[in-house]
Amino acid sequence: MDKAKRKVLINEYRLSFPPMGIFSIRNKLTEKRLIGQSANLNGALNRHRLELRLGTHRNPALMSDWHLLGEAEFSFEILEQIKCRVEPDFDYSAELDRCMAVWRVRVPVGSPTSYL
């Protein structure tokens, strides 16, 4: 690939709307989930996966199940993705918080189906 084409692709990537929304790390056997939100879904899922593989994840219950069951028993899922809006002053942070509140009702903290 020539330098000019590479430069154009890099610039397009920088200007693109990042995938943001709600994600889940789900234990396939118990159906327990860690629900989270991020302005960069791909980065958040990659970080969680890396921390689990390295044994440094900050959620001890999830880390314990990961060690016990292995990576194959977990799925990393995007539950809801926020779409790009045309309004220049749209508050994506508030929208993330609103979506997270909806998912917290579905999977309440402290419930048998939650890692928090």
User: What does the alpha-carbon distance between residue 107 and residue 105 come to, in Å, rounded to a whole number?
Assistant: 6
Per DSSP, the three-state class of 14 is helix
Per DSSP, the three-state class of 86 is coil
Q: What domains are defined for the chain?
A: 19-106 (3.40.1440.10)
pLDDT at 7: 80
Of 5, 52, 4, 44, residue with least CA distance to 24: 44
Does 16 score more than 80 pLDDT?
A: no
pLDDT digits (tens, 9 = 90+) for 18-68: 899 999 999 999 999 999 999 999 999 999 999 999 999 999 999 999 999
Structure-token pair, residue 60: 């001890």
> pTM for the complete prediction?
0.82
User: What does the alpha-carbon distance between residue 60 and residue 66 come to, in Å, rounded to a whole number?
Assistant: 10
Yes or no: say if 28 and 75 are a contact pair by the CB < 8 Å rule: yes
